[in-house]
Amino acid sequence: MEKRQLGKSGLEVSALGLGCMGLSFGYGPATDKNDAIALIRAAFERGVTFFDTAEAYGPFTNEELLGEALEPFRDQVVIATKFGFEGGDSKGGLNSKPENIRAFVEASLKRLRTDRIDLLYQHRVDPQVPIEDVAGAVKELIQAGKVKHFGLSEAGAQTIRRAHAVQPVAALQSEYSLWWREPENEIIPTLEELGIGFVPFSPLGKGFLTGKIDENTNFDKNDFRNIVPRFTIEARKANQEMVELLNRIAQQKGGTGMPDTGMPATPAQIALAWLLVQKPWIVPIPGTTKLHRLEENLGGSTIKLSPEDLAEIEKAAAEITVQGERYPAALQARVGN
């Protein structure tokens, strides 16, 4: 797979990474451990070198899973993880105090079976801790060799600038896709100016842009999409317009969609190809629990959208109003300024 540089950090990763959260957390029951390890290793065998986890995914179990899965080829991959919640639990409130960051890193290194974290993100901006203190704590960990690069997640432009002034930020991880384009307003220009890479999570709209979800889909009782306004039955019905657009472009690609198979592209592949063409320092991290979906997603990195394709997508997307907020109000409040 093609490699990309995350901004000016010198951190090189595969053009698509693997978001591992869903293997342990957020979308219903955890995947069987052996199946999850097999999926992670299959991603590596297919060229993925960038793997994303966090202490809060489980909590802790996702880091342990990733550590075991990647141990045989640790030096050939880039591992990203995240700190920032009290006790590692996303329901426990925010905690980015320097002493918590240091304690997290020591525990995370053990769970990940490694001597360094390649990319360490603050999971959410903590309004109780100045971002300069957070960046300073990570800077010390970088100087100690326990962390290689510093990242932020869902931070606003002001926070990014303040953190970057203390310790260069290698990457920002935030939601970005054809149905959540808010980062284009201020975030992407800021990242470009400062030389920071962008790692979009939910690049397939939490699964919606795959075309496999409609108003009749029933989610597991533990699936967090049950509380997301954008996934109400009414919103799912209205938002099919975006999937129809992607499907139309996919069908137009004909047999060029998947060059190795001669099969047409899929909506998911078009959504990922669209993201990849936006900037050369954008690296989406779609997640999945299934091998055939992994292979489908990776196929998105081979699709070339023409200027005509992009113009058609832009024109059609401008006429579509996505229904529903992307987060419930309580979670949206955790997005930084």
Query: Which residues are identified as catalytic?
Result: 57
83: three-class secondary structure by DSSP = strand
The sign one gets for the Cα dihedral 318, 322, 326, 330 is: positive
The sign one gets for the Cα dihedral 312, 315, 317, 319 is: negative
> Within a 13 Å sphere around the CA of 61, how many CA atoms are in the beta-carbon half?
15
Whether the Cβ atoms of residue 65 and residue 52 lie closer than 8 Å to each other: no
Q: How far apart (Å, rounded) are the C-alpha atoms in residues 231 and 325?
A: 9
Q: How far apart (Å, rounded) are the C-alpha atoms in residues 260 and 101?
A: 45
Whether the Cβ atoms of residue 89 and residue 56 lie closer than 8 Å to each other: yes
One-letter identity of residue 9:
S
CB neighbours of 23 closer than 8 A, spacing ≥ 6?
30, 31, 36, 39, 40, 62, 65, 287, 289
How many Å separate Cα 137 from the centre of its chain?
Answer: 24
| CA distances from residue 302 to 182, 272, 297 in whole angstroms, order as listed | 26, 10, 10
**DSSP of 126-187, one letter per residue?**
-TTS-HHHHHHHHHHHHHTTSEEEEEEES--HHHHHHHHHHS-EEEEEEE-BTTB-GGGTTH
CB neighbours of 9 closer than 8 A, spacing ≥ 6?
149, 168, 170, 171, 195, 196, 197
Strands 117-122 and 147-153: parallel
First vs last Cα of the chain: how many Å apart? 35
